[in-house]
């Protein structure tokens, strides 16, 4: 039985329904369209929010003073384009073919066979067309223009700007560079940016992993996600799950520094309560398949954590592919080795050689005939150089552990292992004898016949730069081998130390100086560099250049290069060199691929910071590679000096 109160509520609800029906009849079809559009707008807003989150649209952050400095140097619009270009990889990979072991045709044939056979997953990007959304169409159009220039520009289509145009074979994804002198370089076309569907719905969370910024930069260049790069993961993730990959970029902290406020192993709940939820908007770099469960990812010490299957940018990594025949290297780095113009039989120094790309390029251009000394202050990096040289079958490279700031011998004796013929001959004799004993299984001790060694030493005399070499010094290789190979030998050898080199002992020197690296791509964070740190880089580069000037002979060549866009480490160094050493002069460069340097000077912060750069004629002799230019390279700088009478 219905109570009066229930009946009253029912009547009221009925009246409210009737009023709504009258309202809809009154507004008619137009009203229904309005409500339909309103509903559609709400859905579109939600979809737009999701699309904005699950995309790749980073904003490169700079230190405010550094940003002001670069705007002064380049202009606001130009610097904005540079910043945008730095956040994405180049649209192509550059391969240097080892012409002493292979040919362009052979490498292209092998890569094509691997691609067609489907045996190399890293190459799948070469056969995939673009799939882009309207939101990225503008970006893609700009990159398409760059790609077309790299792969399709002919002499007739080249702009009439007075510069020699780039000439490339027109055609497939793999083609040969036709810059003068760079015919052993291949370009492999990539693709992107791609719009990726993560299976996301407005009311559903997506399984995610967060990686470190450095890991993400490697992934954007074609790498996989390894265990150390993983920071956080959604709950209930099992092996084989598909996950969206986002990036945690450093944020400012309370102490004025920078860091990621995220503890490794954090569980992601897929809500705005997650750490760095808002910061990850627009920072999704692709989709992958987990190789571990969530628990396994953070227990493992090494290995691939997530195998990338769908990337924002698709570029092959060429990891462990055709080792010894090819080397993946940025185009400006290859140009720097060519600008040095090494000749057969010369003695050349690569002052900051790791990982050995330019070193091996120099040795290859010399046809492995001469002597290339490569130095680095890190033992492991020296071993990397030696390993790369062995892979490429280059025997003229000798790598040593030495700080570039101490390259000139302090004793004036040139005490590096290969400073004299006597040193080299005795070293070869002792190592050969010790190795023969070791190869025969006598690993417990190597009993050398000291009298015989002493006789060999005396018979060779004290020739070699006219200095006396003690028996103790000559026996050092023997002493090292007496106790067997040891731990370092058992893992593949050791890096010899050097005490420096004699002044005027090199024909040519390449100083690819340690720098702020603000030209490397992709880069997702740049605010760690301050004006003080940039000035510190420049100070050390000047000291290294001073060492190079002492080591090169009269009539020799010094090539200075960096991978930064900072004029203080580039044009300002050239100004210092020319003003300090009057016997140095800028030399024309071949091949000429980059643009001119910066002209004029810069004064900022009330005169507290002042730099003088180049004159117009000097600027035309250096090469500056702009990451925002059509060539689409990393930011790079090259200056070549002829050494006159000291």
Max CA pair span of the chain: 128
Mean pLDDT to the nearest integer, 68-77 = 97
User: What was the pLDDT predicted at 202?
Assistant: 54
DSSP 117-164: HT--GGGGGGGPPP---GGGHHHHHHHHHHHHHHHH--TTTS--SSSP
DSSP 493-518: --PPB---B-TT-EEEEEEE-----T
Q: What is the pLDDT of the chain when averaged over all its residues?
A: 79
**Per-residue pLDDT band at 376 (split at 50, 70, 90):** very high
Least confident of 55-69, 75-89, 242-256: 242-256
What does DSSP say about strands 251-252 and 304-311: parallel, antiparallel, or unpaired? unpaired
Q: Which of 179, 184, 238, 246 is nearest to 215 (CA)?
A: 246
**Torsional sign, CA 154, 160, 164, 165:** negative
Give the pLDDT confidence of 97-128 residue by residue, as tens digits.
Answer: 999 999 999 999 988 887 776 555 555 545 43
CA distances from 134 to 78, 283, 528, 602 (A): 25, 18, 34, 41
User: What was the pLDDT predicted at 365?
Assistant: 97
Annotated binding site: 352-358, 376, 403, 512
**Per-residue pLDDT band at 289 (split at 50, 70, 90):** very high
**Torsional sign, CA 82, 221, 135, 282:** negative
What does DSSP say about strands 185-189 and 92-97: parallel, antiparallel, or unpaired? antiparallel
The pLDDT of residue 199 is above 90: no
For residues 220 and 150, the model is more confident at 220
d(CA 314, CA 131): 12
What is the percentage of the chain residues whose pLDDT exceeds 90?
A: 57
User: What was the pLDDT predicted at 260?
Assistant: 87
DSSP conformational letter for 323: B
Mean pLDDT to the nearest integer, 259-276 = 83
Edge-to-edge, what's the strand order for the sheet holding 174-176? 174-176, 185-189, 92-97, 326-328
User: What was the pLDDT predicted at 18?
Assistant: 47
Residues recognised as catalytic = 563
> Which distant-in-sequence residues (6+ apart) come within 8 Å of 170 by Cβ?
151, 152, 154
Give the pLDDT confidence of 402-414 residue by residue, as tens digits.
Answer: 999 999 997 765 5
Mean pLDDT to the nearest integer, 292-308 = 94
User: What was the pLDDT predicted at 33?
Assistant: 40
d(CA 336, CA 333): 5
DSSP 544-575: HHHHHHHHEEEEEEEEEEES---GGGTHHHHH
The pLDDT of residue 258 is above 70: yes
101 within 8 A of 392, measured Cβ to Cβ: yes
DSSP conformational letter for 80: H
Least confident of 257-266, 513-522, 610-619, 628-637: 257-266
Name the residue with tokens 């299957």: 309
User: What was the pLDDT predicted at 613?
Assistant: 97
Name the H helices within 286-346. 294-299, 331-340
Q: Which helix (H) or strand (E) holds 361?
A: helix 357-365
The pLDDT of residue 500 is above 90: yes
User: What was the pLDDT predicted at 315?
Assistant: 86
User: What was the pLDDT predicted at 606?
Assistant: 80
For residue 572, is it left (φ>0), alpha (ψ between -120 and 50) or beta? alpha
160-188 CB burial, b ≥16 within 10 A, e <16: eeeeebbebeeeebbbbbebeebebbbbb
Q: Which of 258, 262, 240 is nearest to 250 (CA)?
A: 258
What does DSSP say about strands 230-234 and 208-212: parallel, antiparallel, or unpaired? antiparallel
For residues 264 and 32, the model is more confident at 264
Least confident of 11-20, 44-53, 605-614: 11-20
User: What was the pLDDT predicted at 380?
Assistant: 94
Report the length, in residues, of the chain: 646
What does DSSP say about strands 552-562 and 251-252: parallel, antiparallel, or unpaired? unpaired
The pLDDT of residue 142 is above 50: no
User: What was the pLDDT predicted at 88?
Assistant: 96
Least confident of 55-59, 119-123, 451-455: 451-455
For residues 256 and 229, the model is more confident at 229
d(CA 204, CA 271): 10
User: What was the pLDDT predicted at 131?
Assistant: 29
d(CA 628, CA 145): 12
At 327, list the tokens: 């080397």
For residues 199 and 163, the model is more confident at 199
What does DSSP say about strands 251-252 and 258-259: parallel, antiparallel, or unpaired? antiparallel
The pLDDT of residue 193 is above 50: yes
Least confident of 18-27, 340-349, 384-393, 535-544: 18-27
For residues 197 and 529, the model is more confident at 529
For residues 593 and 428, the model is more confident at 593
The pLDDT of residue 487 is above 90: no
d(CA 597, CA 567): 9
190 within 8 A of 92, measured Cβ to Cβ: yes
592 within 8 A of 557, measured Cβ to Cβ: no
Mean pLDDT to the nearest integer, 370-377 = 97
The pLDDT of residue 6 is above 90: no
d(CA 599, CA 619): 6
d(CA 589, CA 597): 13
For residues 280 and 435, the model is more confident at 280
For residues 563 and 51, the model is more confident at 563
207 within 8 A of 237, measured Cβ to Cβ: yes
At 501, list the tokens: 């080199």
DSSP conformational letter for 236: T
CA distances from 395 to 390, 486, 550 (A): 8, 25, 27
The pLDDT of residue 95 is above 80: yes
d(CA 7, CA 108): 86
The pLDDT of residue 26 is above 70: no
d(CA 61, CA 53): 19
Name the residue with tokens 């309202």: 23
Annotated binding site for S-adenosyl-L-methionine: 352-358, 376, 403, 512
The pLDDT of residue 280 is above 70: yes
At 277, list the tokens: 């939820």
DSSP conformational letter for 227: G
User: What was the pLDDT predicted at 536?
Assistant: 97
User: What was the pLDDT predicted at 604?
Assistant: 85
The pLDDT of residue 276 is above 90: no
Q: Which helix (H) or strand (E) holds 185?
A: strand 185-189
The pLDDT of residue 555 is above 80: yes
Least confident of 82-91, 449-458, 540-549: 449-458
Collapsing DSSP to helix, strand or coil, 376 comes out as: strand
User: What was the pLDDT predicted at 419?
Assistant: 40
**Per-residue pLDDT band at 48 (split at 50, 70, 90):** low
For residues 395 and 37, the model is more confident at 395
């Amino acid at each position: 039985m219905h109570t009066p109160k229930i009946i009253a509520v029912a009547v009221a609800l009925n009246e409210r329904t009737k009023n709504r029906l009258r309202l809809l009849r009154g507004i008619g079809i137009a009203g229904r369209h309005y409500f339909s559009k309103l509903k559609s707008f709400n859905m579109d807003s939600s979809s737009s929010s999701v699309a904005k989150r699950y995309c790749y649209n980073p904003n490169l952050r700079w230190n405010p003073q550094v940003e002001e400095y670069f705007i002064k140097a380049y202009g606001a619009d130009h610097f904005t384009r540079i910043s945008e270009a730095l956040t994405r990889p180049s649209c192509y990979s550059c391969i240097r073919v080892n012409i002493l072991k292979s040919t362009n045709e052979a490498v292209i044939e092998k890569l094509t066979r691997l691609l067609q056979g489907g045996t190399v997953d890293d190459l799948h990007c070469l056969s995939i067309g673009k799939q882009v959304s309207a939101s990225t169409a503008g970006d893609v159009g700009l990159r398409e223009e760059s790609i077309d220039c790299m792969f399709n520009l002919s002499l007739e289509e080249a702009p009439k700007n007075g510069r020699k145009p780039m000439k490339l074979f027109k055609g497939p994804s793999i083609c040969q560079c036709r810059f003068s002198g760079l015919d052993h370089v291949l370009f492999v076309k990539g693709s992107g940016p791609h719009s990726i569907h993560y299976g996301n719905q407005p009311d559903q969370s997506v399984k995610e992993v967060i990686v470190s910024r450095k890991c993400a930069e490697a992934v954007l260049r074609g790498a996989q996600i390894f265990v150390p790069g993983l920071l956080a993961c959604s709950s209930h993730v099992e092996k084989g799950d598909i996950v969206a990959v986002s990036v945690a970029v450093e944020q400012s902290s309370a102490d004025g520094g920078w860091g990621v406020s995220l503890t490794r192993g954090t569980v992601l709940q897929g809500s705005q309560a997650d750490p760095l939820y808002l910061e990850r908007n627009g920072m999704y770099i692709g989709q992958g398949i987990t190789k571990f469960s969530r628990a396994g990812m953070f227990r493992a010490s090494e290995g691939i954590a997530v195998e990338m299957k769908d990337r924002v940018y698709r570029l092959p990594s060429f990891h462990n592919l055709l080792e010894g025949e090819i080397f993946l290297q940025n185009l400006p780095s290859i140009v720097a080795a060519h600008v040095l113009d090494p000749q057969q039989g010369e003695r050349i120094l690569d002052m900051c050689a790791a990982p050995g790309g330019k070193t091996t390029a120099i040795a290859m251009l010399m046809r492995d005939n001469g002597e290339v000394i490569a130095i680095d202050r890190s033992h492991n990096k020296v071993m990397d150089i030696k390993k790369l040289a062995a892979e490429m079958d280059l025997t003229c490279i000798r790598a040593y552990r030495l700080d570039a700031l101490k390259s000139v011998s302090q004793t004036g004796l040139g005490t590096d292992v290969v400073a004299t013929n006597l040193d080299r001959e005795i070293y070869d004799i002792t190592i050969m004898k010790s190795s023969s004993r070791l190869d025969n299984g006598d690993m417990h001790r190597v009993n050398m016949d000291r009298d015989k060694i002493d006789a060999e030493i005396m018979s060779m005399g004290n020739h070699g730069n006219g200095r006396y070499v003690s028996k103790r010094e000559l026996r050092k290789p023997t002493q090292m081998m007496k106790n067997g190979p040891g731990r370092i030998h058992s893992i593949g050898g050791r890096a010899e130390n050097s005490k420096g080199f004699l002044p005027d002992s090199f024909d040519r020197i390449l100083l690819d100086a340690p720098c702020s690296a603000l030209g490397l791509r992709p880069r997702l964070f740049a605010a760690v560099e301050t004006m003080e740190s940039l000035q510190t880089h420049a100070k050390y580069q000047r000291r290294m250049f001073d060492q190079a000037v002492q080591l090169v002979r009269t009539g020799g060549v010094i090539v200075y290069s960096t991978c930064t866009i900072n004029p203080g480490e580039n044009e300002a160094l050239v100004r210092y060199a020319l003003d300090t050493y009057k016997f140095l002069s800028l030399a024309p460069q071949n091949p000429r691929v980059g643009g001119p340097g910066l002209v004029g000077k810069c004064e900022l912060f009330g005169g507290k910071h002042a730099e003088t750069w180049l004159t117009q004629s000097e600027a035309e002799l250096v090469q500056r590679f702009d990451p925002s230019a059509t060539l689409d390279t990393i930011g790079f700088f090259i200056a070549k000096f002829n050494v006159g009478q000291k």
